[in-house]
């Protein structure tokens, strides 16, 4: 029987590319996102859920017919701004979207996943370097890195792996509209990032846990 992957944030540009990567290798996928599209038979199943809500995330997991083997947390959002200019709503939004969604998903997964399963969180290059002008976003993504490292230690005895990928700029329609052609030429393609995630969610990466993997492209 094919493995089941849960892709949180699976309706966005990166998320939909992740879904395609899992399906292409024969996995079935549950797409968890605010938007609920029609199910594609028994291969791609959509669940409408507010991933910033711990209760909603728990309900999502309770409603699954089987435990996924692969969990990817790809929800995120970006707002520019320096610390001195920040507003409470902006900080709260960045924390909820970036580290909060990963936290609640990881909490639910940690209670249910079995040996041989894997979690991959999507962080950002800003978590390790740079980030001037995007303070709240950078701090939130740094939280994703530490969450990943701590959970990898927590779940080591259960033989559940936890890793993170850190892309730089991703080539998306929104970024193409706001960035220069030179910047986009150096950006990471969604399919390139999805390939790294798919590797981490495979038996080929059975010895990899606690890794923070840079996927910077040529930036």
Could you read off the pLDDT of 86-116 as tens digits, one per residue? 899 989 999 999 999 999 999 999 999 999 9
Task: Give dist(CA 77, CA 84) in Å, integer.
Answer: 20
Whether 1 has a pLDDT exceeding 80, the answer reads no
Q: In what order do the strands lie in the sheet with 44-48?
A: 44-48, 28-33, 4-8, 70-73, 118-122, 161-167, 212-215
Check residue 178 and give its pLDDT: 85
Range 179-186 contact pairs with CB under 8 angstroms and sequence separation of 24 or more: 183/219, 185/218, 186/217, 186/218, 186/219
4 pLDDT more than 90? yes
Where are the domains positioned within the chain? 4-76+101-130+143-213
Q: What is the pLDDT of residue 187?
A: 86
Model pLDDT for residues 138-174, shown as the tens digit of each residue: 999 999 999 999 999 999 999 999 999 999 988 888 8
Topology (CATH) of 4-76+101-130+143-213: Rossmann fold (3.40.50)
Residues with catalytic function: 137
pLDDT reported for residue 146 = 98
Separation of alpha carbons 69 and 97, rounded Å = 24
Kindly state the percentage of the chain with pLDDT values over 90: 79
List pLDDT tens digits, range 170-212: 888 888 888 888 889 888 999 999 999 999 999 999 999 999 9
Helix, coil or strand: residue 193 = helix
Q: 22-76, pLDDT tens digit by residue?
A: 999 999 999 999 987 777 778 999 999 999 999 999 999 999 999 999 999 999 9
Q: Report the predicted TM-score, pTM, of the whole model to 2 decimal places.
A: 0.94
pLDDT of residue 135: 94
């Amino acid at each position: 029987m094919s493995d089941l992957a849960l892709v949180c944030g699976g309706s966005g540009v990166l998320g939909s590319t992740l879904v395609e990567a899992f399906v292409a290798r024969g996995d079935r996928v549950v797409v968890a996102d605010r938007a609920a599209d029609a199910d594609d038979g028994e291969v791609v199943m959509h669940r409408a859920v507010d991933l910033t809500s711990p209760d909603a995330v728990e309900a999502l997991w309770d409603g699954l017919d089987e435990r996924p083997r692969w969990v990817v947390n790809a929800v995120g959002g970006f707002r520019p701004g320096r610390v001195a200019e920040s507003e409470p709503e902006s900080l709260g939004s960045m924390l909820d979207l970036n580290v909060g969604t990963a936290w609640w998903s990881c909490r639910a997964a940690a209670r249910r996943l079995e040996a041989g399963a894997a979690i991959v969180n999507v962080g950002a290059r800003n978590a390790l370097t740079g980030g001037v002008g995007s303070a709240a976003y950078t701090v939130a993504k740094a939280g994703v890195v530490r969450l990943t490292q701590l959970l990898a230690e927590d779940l080591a005895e259960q033989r559940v792996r936890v890793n993170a990928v850190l892309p730089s700029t991703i080539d998306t329609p929104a970024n193409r509209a706001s960035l220069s052609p030179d910047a986009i030429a150096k950006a990471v393609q969604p399919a390139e990032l999805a390939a790294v995630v798919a590797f981490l969610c495979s038996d080929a990466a059975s010895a990899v846990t606690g890794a923070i993997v840079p996927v910077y492209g040529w930036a």
